[in-house]
Structure 1
Amino acid sequence: MKLFVDTADLAEIETIAGWGVLAGVTTNPSLLAKVEGDADDIYRRVCELVDGPVSAEVVAETRADMVEEGRRLAAIHDNIVVKLPMSAEGLAATSILATDDIRVNMTLCFTAPQALLASASGAAFVSPFIGRFDDIGQNGVECLRDIVEAMETSIYDTEVLAASIRTPVHVTEAARMGADIATIPPKVFYQMLQHPLTDAGTATFTQDFETRRAKAKA
């Protein structure tokens, strides 16, 4: 499973990209609102930091406006993927953009039927939201399972991108279920690094090394 980071914060992207683990980036208008700078400039810089798909979301609501905005976003950089919302207008816009060889990430998918529609319209990625199901007391992981299983027999080459990741457990479950990608907030990446036994082991090794060095100097 490929790992994307879900943020528009250039410093966070640069840091995590430096670990050598990132295959792409997802953004949305809410994430862009948290950072300063021109949106197009941010997208260009992200594409320089990570050589992989970078999702840039439209804010238009009609298919014609989505197509126009999508084409403009796609022209920023070859790595840009146009992010469209699941809707009848979004499906129509996706099919038009697909004929222009512009990749689309269909976002806000919550069911297998929605994912199948997105795939049939030509979407390159479909993004089921795990955490938002959990927020309303439903099992987001099981909903992801439904989508992955439904897409396994699809004739289309659409990748399942697990989104709204809230914990390292979500990442593990997405991988176990066969999601192609998980897009992960920076704070969860840092949580994935950590385990108390790792910290304890490192401390022990360091202490043993220092003890040996002290004896050698004695």
Structure 2
Amino acid sequence: MRFFIDTAEVSEVRTADELGLVDGVTTNPSLVASSGREYRDVVAELDEFVDGPISVEVIATEAEEMLVEAREYDTWGDDIAVKFPMTREGMTALSQATAEGIDSNVTLVFSANQALLAAKNGATFVSPFLGRLDDIGSDGVELVREIREIYDVHGFDTEILAASIRHPSHVKAVAKVGADVATLPPSVLDQLFDHPKTDEGLAAFLDDWGDRESPAVRELQGADDD
């Protein structure tokens, strides 16, 4: 399963990229607005180092205006996925965008039927929102499982991009049910590293070793002396 980073803060993406864990980035108008920067400037900076899709969301609500935006966004980088909303107008725009070879990410998906419509219209990615479903007492992970089953039965190429990830348990759960991608807030990605037993074990190893020098460093120093 690939990891996308869900942020418009370029510094956060760089930090994750240094860990070797960035397969793409998802943005939206809310994230960009909170960054205080121009949308295109953010995407241009990300495109310099991100080796994977960058999702850029349309602002318009009418299909023709969405397409105008999509065609422009498609010129912003080498691997742009235009985010269309799961609405009738969004699906109209998606159908034409697919015909024009524009990669896409259908956002605000809350049912398997919506995901089916997006796949039929050729979406590159479909984004079921786990956390928002959990907030209303539904099961976001079960939705991902249902979409996976439908896509596998019918041979759709659309990839499942699990979104609205709130905690590490979401990541494990969607990996188990077959999500192709999880898009993670930087805070959740950071939490994936942590376990108290890891910290405990490392502390014990270091305590046992004491203040002795690393053998690797000692070898290097010996080589330098030669």
Shorter-normalised TM range: over 0.9
Per the alignment, residue 147 of structure 2 pairs with: 147
Deviation at 1:156?
2.8
Deviation at 1:26?
0.4
The whole-number CA distance in structure 1 between the counterparts of 2:90 and 2:155 is: 21
Per the alignment, residue 68 of structure 1 pairs with: 68
The whole-number CA distance in structure 2 between the counterparts of 1:24 and 1:212 is: 42
The whole-number CA distance in structure 2 between the counterparts of 1:184 and 1:4 is: 6
Per the alignment, residue 163 of structure 2 pairs with: 163
Identity %: 47
Per the alignment, residue 52 of structure 1 pairs with: 52
RMSD over equivalenced CA pairs, Å: 1.1
The whole-number CA distance in structure 2 between the counterparts of 1:12 and 1:184 is: 11
Deviations 1:28-55 (A, max 9, x none): 1111111122210100111122110000
2:145 maps to amino acid: R
Task: Check whether the contact 2:7–2:13 (CA below 8 A) recurs between aligned residues.
Answer: yes
The whole-number CA distance in structure 1 between the counterparts of 2:3 and 2:49 is: 15
Per the alignment, residue 219 of structure 2 pairs with: none
1:175 maps to amino acid: A
Q: Secondary structure at the match of 2:8?
A: coil
The whole-number CA distance in structure 2 between the counterparts of 1:16 and 1:155 is: 33
The whole-number CA distance in structure 2 between the counterparts of 1:103 and 1:171 is: 25
Deviation at 1:212?
5.0
1:20-59 to 2 correspondence within 5 Å?
20-59=20-59
Deviation at 1:211?
5.2
Per the alignment, residue 3 of structure 1 pairs with: 3
Gaps of 5+ in 1: 214-218
Greater Cα radius of gyration, structure 1 or 2: 2
Task: Check whether the contact 2:63–2:90 (CA below 8 A) recurs between aligned residues.
Answer: yes
Q: Give TM-score scaled by structure 2 length.
A: 0.91
The whole-number CA distance in structure 2 between the counterparts of 1:171 and 1:131 is: 11
- Establish whether residue 137 from structure 1 lines up as the match of residue 137 from structure 2: yes
The whole-number CA distance in structure 2 between the counterparts of 1:182 and 1:154 is: 22
Deviation at 1:154?
2.6
Per the alignment, residue 216 of structure 2 pairs with: none
2:152 maps to amino acid: E
1:165 maps to amino acid: I
The whole-number CA distance in structure 2 between the counterparts of 1:24 and 1:134 is: 25
Aligned length: 213
Per the alignment, residue 12 of structure 2 pairs with: 12
The whole-number CA distance in structure 1 between the counterparts of 2:114 and 2:138 is: 17
Per the alignment, residue 186 of structure 1 pairs with: 186
Per the alignment, residue 98 of structure 2 pairs with: 98
Deviations 1:80-133 (A, max 9, x none): 110010011111101111111110100011111110100111110000000001
Q: Secondary structure at the match of 1:106?
A: strand
Gaps of 5+ in 2: 214-226
Task: Check whether the contact 1:13–1:49 (CA below 8 A) recurs between aligned residues.
Answer: no
Per the alignment, residue 218 of structure 2 pairs with: none
The whole-number CA distance in structure 2 between the counterparts of 1:153 and 1:49 is: 36
Q: Secondary structure at the match of 1:25?
A: strand
Runs of 4+ in 1 over 3 A off after TM superposition: none
The whole-number CA distance in structure 2 between the counterparts of 1:138 and 1:112 is: 13
The whole-number CA distance in structure 2 between the counterparts of 1:24 and 1:195 is: 26
Task: Check whether the contact 2:151–2:157 (CA below 8 A) recurs between aligned residues.
Answer: no
